[in-house]
Structure 1
Amino acid sequence: MTPSTLYVCTTCRSSADAAPSADRPRAGERLLMAARERATVDADPETRIVGVECLSNCSRGCTVAVAAPGKWTYVIGNLDGEQHAGDILAFARQHSAHETGVTVWRERPEHIRKNTIARVPPMNFQESS
């Protein structure tokens, strides 16, 4: 099993983020904090969670990407830290467990199924004939 990395866009805003402040960070930063907290609660030491600046999916933020060497990468949007931290961690675990990262569509959390923005082939992808 190749552990997957969950990349969380920390610059994403929500409609309520007109003016982020020290006591109310941007929605992406809140999603990152919620994912890390949930990983601790779920005792999920395998999933690496990394904050990144701008995944360029601003119109459908908050956004994450799930990736691992030699596996397909998924970009998922329309996320909310309070509602979807468990979903993105569950999907990251599914991604880790699958040899190519292409999990069974029906087994993915519903929000992930409905809000996958892109699936990107691995760098070493070989076209099938």
Structure 2
Amino acid sequence: MTVTLHVCTTCRAGEVLEEDAPRPGALLHAALTGATAPEGVNIVGVECLSACSQGAAVALSEPGKWTYVYGRLTKDDAGDILAGAAAYAATTDGLVPWRERPVIFRKQSLARIPPMELPK
């Protein structure tokens, strides 16, 4: 399966911006898509992750794994985000050992959501 790295492209990261100004979330998305994504990681821009007071935000998910939402990120964090996504992709359950996570993933986690299971 493929890990999805969702990136909020509309995040203003708590900034007051002119209507046509680039959004911090869009800048983060551009930095991530401009880099080489880890194998098995698909980067997808989304309009809102509802983490507005904690933006810019991303979420890592894959069916059958825990989902994580991280916030207070900038385009300068792209390398650490991609390293964290690679570590997540290498797990069977989404649980990367705490010491193996990039520091931003240790300190800026907003939510951990259990895997969804389809009814049998």
- Is the shorter-chain TM-score for this pair beyond 0.5, marking a shared fold? yes
Overall identity of the aligned pairs, in %: 47
| 1:14 aligns to 2:13 (yes or no) | yes
Partner of 2:85: 92
| 1:80 aligns to 2:77 (yes or no) | no
| 1:47 aligns to 2:47 (yes or no) | no
Root mean square deviation, CA, Å:
1.7
| 1:66 aligns to 2:63 (yes or no) | no
- Per-residue deviation, residues 70-122 of structure 1 (Å, max 9, x unmatched): 000000000001x2111111111111100001001111000111000011000
- TM-fit CA distance, 1:16: 4.9
1:20/1:26 contact within 8 Å kept:
no
Whole-angstrom distance in 2 between the partners of 1:101 and 1:26: 29
Q: Runs of 4+ in structure 1 displaced over 2 angstroms?
A: 14-17
Partner of 1:109: 102
Whole-angstrom distance in 1 between the partners of 2:87 and 2:2: 10
Task: Tell me which amino acid in the other structure corresponds to 2:18.
Answer: A
Whole-angstrom distance in 2 between the partners of 1:115 and 1:20: 28
Whole-angstrom distance in 1 between the partners of 2:39 and 2:65: 20
Q: What secondary structure, in the 3-state scheme, does the structure 2 residue paired with 1:31 have? A: helix
Whole-angstrom distance in 2 between the partners of 1:115 and 1:15: 16
Listed as ranges, the gaps of 5+ residues in structure 1 are none
- CA pair 35-17 structure 1, distance change in 2 beyond 3 A: farther
2:39/2:86 contact within 8 Å kept:
no
- TM-fit CA distance, 1:20: 4.7
